[in-house]
Amino acid sequence: MSDMYIDDVLTGAETLLEAKELKNQLINIFAKGGPVVAKAKIFLQKLWMLKIDWTDLLPDTINREWRQFVESLQ
């Protein structure tokens, strides 16, 4: 996944396999609870504050932050 869009993170993917992977990532976020959910909400607030459209590519710094967050869940 070199190009990542907001809708890929939140609601969609290009392939069924990618959709399943994203679903599992979101399940992991909510399964671990409390601080993890808060961090995810803060991340979503950052996206909202940047006024990024659903079809926009994530800025590199935000993309890296998301990937680090996901890796920290494993």
pLDDT tens for 13-67 read: 677 788 788 778 877 777 766 677 788 888 888 888 988 887 888 889 988 998 8
Selection from 1, 19, 15, 4 nearest residue 55 by Cα: 4
Angle at 30 between CA 40 and CA 15, to 5 degrees: 85
Q: Is the pLDDT of residue 69 over 60?
A: yes
